[in-house]
Amino acid sequence: MDPNSGFAQHAQLWTCTVHATYPSVRLLTEFLHKVIDGLCGHAFPRYPDYSTIWNLTEWMEVLEQTASYFRRTVGKDLSDEEAVSPLTELNSDTQRAVLTCLKGRRPDIRHALIEKTNAICSTQLLNFDWQLKLALSSDKLSMLQMPLLNLDLDLSNSGDVKLVSVEMNKEELQTLISSLEAANKVVLQLK
């Protein structure tokens, strides 16, 4: 089942209901912007403002499906053609209104999605220090000569500062560097 089909179904209901009483494109655009405002951390549209159009069950479904449509479309970075595909059952004015809102507010939605993702882990790196050491021997080998890296990380989590020390050999350090380079590529793609 297409996850966006619920949006199309309820948007069709929206379109049919609104044509009878309101200038639909203006009211639809207003509704869509309020949903996007809600995604961006502001107030979602309120049911009493739309109670003449939908009953409470329909309202909850259309609100969730509309928000889900915007989250998926922006989160998956869909092109305009891909974004309009779940809306094919809607008339062209409604499709145009949805795409206009999407194009104009895409950066806002993207920023809100990134902030929500960042909020999953509130730990931040404050500072780091490293030392390179050469282990000359161990209790098992008399002649070891293995380079070791001591990495000290100062991490902050909700104001609490925690020191984490890690000792890595050459292979572990290479794995860490590869992971950080991959993370950096993802961050650069998001900008």
pTM for the structure as a whole: 0.60
Residue 4 pLDDT > 70? no
d(CA 97, CA 149): 57
pLDDT over 50 (residue 178): yes
Q: Convert the pLDDT of each residue in 118-168 to its tens digit.
A: 777 778 888 999 999 887 766 665 666 788 899 999 998 877 889 999 999
Q: What are phi and psi of 37, to 5 degrees?
A: -55, -40
Token code pair at residue 9: 């179904």
Which pLDDT value is given to residue 28? 85
Nearest CA among 2, 12, 3 for reference residue 98: 12
Across 12-37, average pLDDT: 69
- Reduced 3-state DSSP string for the chain: CCCCHHHHHHHHHHHHHHHHHCCHHHHHHHHHHHHHHHHCCCCCCCHHHCCCCCCHHHHHHHHHHHHHHHHHHHHCCCCHHHHHHHHCCCCHHHHHHHHHHHHHHHHHHHHHHHHHHHCCCCCEEEEEEEEEEEECCCCCCCCCCEEEEEEEEEEEECCEEEEEEEEECHHHHHHHHHHHHHHHHHHHHHC
Token pair listed for 135: 């282990």
- Return the minimum-mean-pLDDT range out of 35-39, 110-114, 122-126, 181-185: 122-126
Binned at pLDDT 50, 70 and 90, residue 20 comes out as very low
Model confidence at 175: pLDDT above 90 = yes
Tens digit of each residue's pLDDT (9 = 90 or more) over 64-116: 999 999 999 999 999 988 998 888 888 888 888 899 999 999 999 999 998 88
Residue 21 pLDDT exceeds 50:
no
> What CA–CA distance (Å, rounded) separates 180 from 127?
16
